[in-house]
Structure 1
Amino acid sequence: MLGFGASCSVEDVEPNQPLSQTATSNATATQDNHLAMGNPSAAGTSYSNYLVSKPQYVMSYNSYRGTPNWVSWHLSSAWVGTTPRQDDFRADTSLPSAFYRVQSSDYTGSGFDRGHNCPSADRTLTVADNSATFLMSNMIPQAGPNNQQTWAGLENYCRTLINVGNELYIIMGSYGKGGTGLNGYKETLAAGKVTVPNRIWKVIVVLPNGTGDVSRVTTSTRVIAVNTPNSTSISSTWGTYRTTVDAIEAATGYNILSNVSSTVQSTIEARVDNGPTQ
């Protein structure tokens, strides 16, 4: 399996300290490399670990599961504007012709949401950017409360961080088989073409706006790692599900922050975030 690694960090302060609303960076926010922190699964041309690079995000796609293994994206205020939600869910015709191209209708009546990996609200600068998040290659079958409450809360929190002078590197992924949606437990949709994941995770690295991002990740950089069950029986409080990057790597086999120095990785990937959640 493949996984993703991202982390969100506020400022280069002592680890897990509350975000200051005043001591933010004066640097101009920019749009940066989605894989700056690394390619977690060394994605390439394998049908189970296929690298897909788009202007808005990069993913490892698994044609056998009909979902991404992980999606990685950079988030700063430079990605956010006033474009409305496009809601144009559709097949990703850029995938190789040998792949089954998941249709929006494959989720119809399943009891699972078409759950975004890279969120619509993280890409509102242009219509093209927002529309790209509605490709079905960016979706997983996600239990409604998980998607609409727990993950929505975490996504909203990340956007509050960019509003006070930070940039984030976010990696979201899923693994395992079988989840519980509104119609009960299911392992696949679309006659087996789409796998329902058992666990859904995210890693967020938080940095003040600036340049040379990988070199600025230190042992005091805030990294948030979350791993949730894909179930309707889930707390709406995402902080409940905080874990370590190390634990997610152990479950997925990925090397999530592979471009960060090994010395720094050993510290930040072993730590459970206990910072603010809103």
Structure 2
Amino acid sequence: MIRQLAVAAILALASLYAGARDSQSPQCAHVLGTGQPSVGKITGGTQLLCYRGYAVLYSSQTRTALWSAERLTREGVDAARKLPRDSDFYEEGRLPEADRAKLTDYGRRSGFDRGHLAPSGDFPDMASQAESFSLANVVPQDSVSNRRTWSHIETSTRKLARQYGSIQVVTGPAFVGNARMLGGRVRIPDFIWKAIYVPGTGAAAYIARNDATPAYSVITVDELRHFTGIDPFPTLSVTMRSTAIDLPPPTPHPGEKAARRVAFAWLVSGDRVEKEAITGQITHLVRDAGTLASLLLAYSR
């Protein structure tokens, strides 16, 4: 009870802080140093929400964020490593009740984790960490991916912040297939991506399926925009948009295997990582045609 009261007090103070920041900087400039990510075709309402350490563009149609943006620094990441993870998920009170995701949507029998877009492990203080547990910052995520491949990607992203001192990060879901809904209310992503911009160096994005497949791809900002309809860094130069910088492999936890990097066309094809190589010219042609069709379908969104 004492812990819950303490968390509630932190969130109340954080809400006052966020409101003050909203009135001074409605575009969440303390986080969106490279400008607000742009979104292509949108049906339904959206709302920009500013928090201490991140910002989200929330969609009332999917009842998830379309993107969640952070600015990670070496000092912040180092401080976050020393902070115990101790917060509770909560419904976002700044959203209309009918539009917000609810705790009951993510019941124990839902089959999905409440997957952070801006992960709690990125935040260096209790108030920022508590805010990261807003359901506005959460998507239905495959439990194996959330706890392994995606967690490994988050660890490598923090390593980049320590290496370069400061990076911009935008994370989001990709909805490219038939709409799958959690409890009839929250849309389940087909993919999850994390775009990273290193000032003065360049940008690239990790992308992974929202399933147990231990694989990921690294793509350019332009490829991400074509595939998802979202441009995480709209002010970048043409060169930085069309060229992917080297991103470190996901860092596995002790005793776990590292995810395998695969070609983006393979990732969207639906093949399984453990599937043996298919032989025979005709079979290869059929498989490649299916992959091309999947890409064309996604890019035509």
Tell me, yes or no, whether TM beats 0.5: yes
1:69-111: CA deviations, max 9, x gaps? 1001111134342321123111111223452342165342121
Give the % identical residues: 28
Of 32, 44, 52, which residue of structure 2 is paired with 1:55?
52
Say yes or no: does 1:267 pair with 2:239. Answer: yes
Q: Show the counterpart of 2:131.
A: 132
Code of the residue aligned with 2:106 in structure 1: it is D
CA distance in structure 2 between the partners assigned to 1:251 and 1:111 by the alignment: 26
Give the number of equivalent residue pairs: 218
Answer whether contact 2:71 2:169 (CA < 8 A) is retained. Answer: yes
CA distance in structure 2 between the partners assigned to 1:178 and 1:252 by the alignment: 11
Q: Show the counterpart of 2:208.
A: 228
Cα drift, residue 177 of structure 1: 5.8
Code of the residue aligned with 2:182 in structure 1: it is L
Unaligned runs of 5+ in 2: 1-28, 252-301
- What SS is found at the alignment partner of 2:246? coil
Cα drift, residue 259 of structure 1: 2.8
Alignment of 1:95-106 (within 5 A): 95-103=95-103, 106=106
1:92-147: CA deviations, max 9, x gaps? 11223452342165342121111000011101x22111111111111101112221
Code of the residue aligned with 1:195 in structure 2: it is R
Q: Show the counterpart of 2:191.
A: 199
CA distance in structure 1 between the partners assigned to 2:243 and 2:104 by the alignment: 38
Answer whether contact 1:95 1:101 (CA < 8 A) is retained. Answer: no
Of 67, 70, 73, which residue of structure 2 is paired with 1:73?
70
Of 180, 189, 205, which residue of structure 2 is paired with 1:187?
180
CA distance in structure 1 between the partners assigned to 2:220 and 2:107 by the alignment: 31
Code of the residue aligned with 1:51 in structure 2: it is L
**With CA pairs under 8 Å and 6+ residues apart, which has the higher RCO, 1 or 2?**
1
Change (3 A) 1:135 1:275: closer
- What SS is found at the alignment partner of 2:65? strand
Of 221, 235, 247, which residue of structure 2 is paired with 1:245?
221
Cα drift, residue 41 of structure 1: 2.6
- What SS is found at the alignment partner of 1:130? helix
Change (3 A) 1:232 1:276: closer
Say yes or no: does 1:116 pair with 2:116. Answer: yes
Q: Please report the RMSD computed on the Cα atoms of aligned residues, expressed in angstroms.
A: 2.6
- What SS is found at the alignment partner of 1:274? coil
Q: Show the counterpart of 1:10.
A: none
- What SS is found at the alignment partner of 1:273? coil
- Between Structure 1 and Structure 2, the one with more helix by share is 2
Change (3 A) 1:49 1:144: same
Normalised by the size of structure 2, how large is the TM-score?
Answer: 0.65
CA distance in structure 2 between the partners assigned to 1:113 and 1:147 by the alignment: 7
Change (3 A) 1:165 1:223: closer
Q: Show the counterpart of 2:36.
A: 39
Cα drift, residue 33 of structure 1: 2.6
Q: Show the counterpart of 2:284.
A: none
Answer whether contact 1:202 1:227 (CA < 8 A) is retained. Answer: yes
Code of the residue aligned with 1:70 in structure 2: it is W
Code of the residue aligned with 1:65 in structure 2: it is T
CA distance in structure 2 between the partners assigned to 1:134 and 1:112 by the alignment: 16
Unaligned runs of 5+ in 1: 1-31, 180-185, 208-216
Alignment of 1:203-214 (within 5 A): 203-207=195-199
Change (3 A) 1:178 1:255: closer
Cα drift, residue 175 of structure 1: 2.1
CA distance in structure 2 between the partners assigned to 1:34 and 1:63 by the alignment: 22
